[in-house]
Structure 1
Amino acid sequence: MSYYSNNRSPPPLQHPVPTHPAYIPEPPSTPVSPQGYQRYTSSPPSQSYPQPIPPQQHISPSYISHGGQYQPIGSPPRQQPIHGQVPSHMPPTAPVDFSAWGLNDATAQFGMQLGQSAVAAGQDYVQKNLGGLIPITAVKRYFNVSNSYVVHKLRILLFPWRHKPWSRRSRRAENGQVELLSPKEDVNAPDLYIPLMAFVTYILAVALHFGLKSDFRPDILGVRASTGLVVILLDFAFVKLGCYLLNIQGASQVLDLLAYNGYKFVGVIVTLIAGMLNIRGTLYLLVFLYSFFATAFFLLRSLRSVVLPDASATASPVNTAQRSRRITFLFLVAMLQVVYMAILVWV
Structure 2
Amino acid sequence: MEYTLTQKGFRHQPNVRLRNSSMEVSDGNQLFEDTSGCGSETSHLMKQHSGPQAAGFPDHSMLSDPMSNLAMAYGSSLASRGREMMDKNLDRFIPISKLKYYFAVDTVYVGKKLGLLVFPYMHENWEVSYQQDTPVAPRFDINAPDLYIPAMGFITYVLVAGLALGTQNRLICDSFEKLRFSPELLGGQASSALVWLIMEVLAVLLSLYLVTVNTDLTTIDLFAFAGYKYVGMIVGVVAGLIFGRLAYYISLLWCCAAIFVFMTRTLRLKLLSEAAAEGRLVIGTRNQLRMYLTMCIAVAQPVFMYWLTYHLIR
How does the TM-score come out when normalised to structure 1? 0.62
Kindly tell me: are residues 98 and 300 of structure 1, through their superposed partners in 2, closer, same or farther at Cα, counting changes over 3 Å? farther
Give the Cα–Cα distance (whole angstroms) in 1 for the partners of residues 216 and 63 of structure 2: 55
Pair 1:303 & 2:267 matched: yes
The correspondence for 2:212, drawn from 220, 231, 247, is: 247
What aligned pairs does 1:229-244 form with structure 2 within 5 A after superposition?
A: 229-244=194-209
Instruction: Give the aligned partner of residue 183 of structure 1.
Output: 138
The correspondence for 2:89, drawn from 119, 125, 138, is: 125
**Which has the bigger relative contact order, CA under 8 A and spacing at least 6?**
2
Instruction: Give the aligned partner of residue 152 of structure 1.
Output: 112
Compute the RMSD of aligned alpha carbons.
Answer: 2.9
Shift of 1:288: 2.1
The correspondence for 1:271, drawn from 233, 236, 249, is: 236
Contact 1:292–1:338, Cα closer than 8 Å, also in 2: yes
Pair 1:288 & 2:252 matched: yes
Instruction: Give the aligned partner of residue 204 of structure 1.
Output: 159
Moved over 4 A (4+): 97-100, 103-112
Give the Cα–Cα distance (whole angstroms) in 1 for the partners of residues 228 and 302 of structure 2: 13
Instruction: Give the aligned partner of residue 15 of structure 2.
Output: none
Give the Cα–Cα distance (whole angstroms) in 2 for the partners of residues 156 and 123 of structure 1: 36
Contact 1:98–1:108, Cα closer than 8 Å, also in 2: no
Q: Which moved more, 1:196-205 or 1:108-117?
A: 108-117
Aligned length, in residue pairs: 241
Q: Which moved more, 1:135-144 or 1:323-332?
A: 135-144
Give the Cα–Cα distance (whole angstroms) in 1 for the partners of residues 220 and 64 of structure 2: 49
Q: In the alignment, residue 97 of structure 2 is paired with which amino acid?
A: T
Pair 1:342 & 2:302 matched: no
Contact 1:170–1:179, Cα closer than 8 Å, also in 2: yes
SS at match of 2:134: strand
Kindly tell me: are residues 115 and 162 of structure 1, through their superposed partners in 2, closer, same or farther at Cα, counting changes over 3 Å? same
Contact 1:295–1:337, Cα closer than 8 Å, also in 2: yes
Instruction: Give the aligned partner of residue 10 of structure 2.
Output: none
Contact 2:237–2:248, Cα closer than 8 Å, also in 1: no
Shift of 1:322: 1.0
Contact 1:243–1:252, Cα closer than 8 Å, also in 2: no
SS at match of 1:162: coil
Instruction: Give the aligned partner of residue 139 of structure 1.
Output: 99
Give the Cα–Cα distance (whole angstroms) in 2 for the partners of residues 319 and 98 of structure 1: 83
Give the Cα–Cα distance (whole angstroms) in 2 for the partners of residues 109 and 146 of structure 1: 40
Kindly tell me: are residues 259 and 162 of structure 1, through their superposed partners in 2, closer, same or farther at Cα, counting changes over 3 Å? same
Contact 1:236–1:261, Cα closer than 8 Å, also in 2: yes
Shift of 1:336: 1.4
SS at match of 1:152: helix
Shift of 1:313: 4.6
Give the Cα–Cα distance (whole angstroms) in 1 for the partners of residues 299 and 102 of structure 2: 26
SS at match of 1:191: coil
The correspondence for 2:148, drawn from 166, 183, 193, is: 193
**CA deviation digits over 1:21-44, x for unaligned, max 9?**
xxxxxxxxxxxxxxxxxxxxxxxx
**CA deviation digits over 1:267-316, x for unaligned, max 9?**
10011111211422x543233222212111111111111111144758xx
Q: In the alignment, residue 116 of structure 2 is paired with which amino acid?
A: I
Shift of 1:120: 2.4
Instruction: Give the aligned partner of residue 218 of structure 1.
Output: 183
Q: Could you tell me the percent identity over the aligned residues?
A: 33
Give the Cα–Cα distance (whole angstroms) in 2 for the partners of residues 164 and 238 of structure 1: 29
**CA deviation digits over 1:42-68, x for unaligned, max 9?**
xxxxxxxxxxxxx98xxxxxxxxxxxx
Give the Cα–Cα distance (whole angstroms) in 1 for the partners of residues 185 and 250 of structure 2: 26
Instruction: Give the aligned partner of residue 7 of structure 2.
Output: none
Shift of 1:123: 1.8
Give the Cα–Cα distance (whole angstroms) in 1 for the partners of residues 118 and 129 of structure 2: 22
How does the TM-score come out when normalised to structure 2? 0.68
Contact 1:207–1:216, Cα closer than 8 Å, also in 2: no
Q: In the alignment, residue 330 of structure 1 is paired with which amino acid?
A: T
Contact 2:240–2:247, Cα closer than 8 Å, also in 1: no
Contact 1:168–1:180, Cα closer than 8 Å, also in 2: yes
Q: In the alignment, residue 184 of structure 2 is paired with which amino acid?
A: D
Kindly tell me: are residues 324 and 116 of structure 1, through their superposed partners in 2, closer, same or farther at Cα, counting changes over 3 Å? same
What aligned pairs does 1:25-104 form with structure 2 within 5 A after superposition?
A: none
Structure with more helix by fraction: 2
Instruction: Give the aligned partner of residue 224 of structure 2.
Output: 259
Instruction: Give the aligned partner of residue 6 of structure 1.
Output: none
**CA deviation digits over 1:60-83, x for unaligned, max 9?**
xxxxxxxxxxxxxxxxxxxxxxxx
Give the Cα–Cα distance (whole angstroms) in 1 for the partners of residues 276 and 123 of structure 2: 25
Contact 1:149–1:183, Cα closer than 8 Å, also in 2: yes
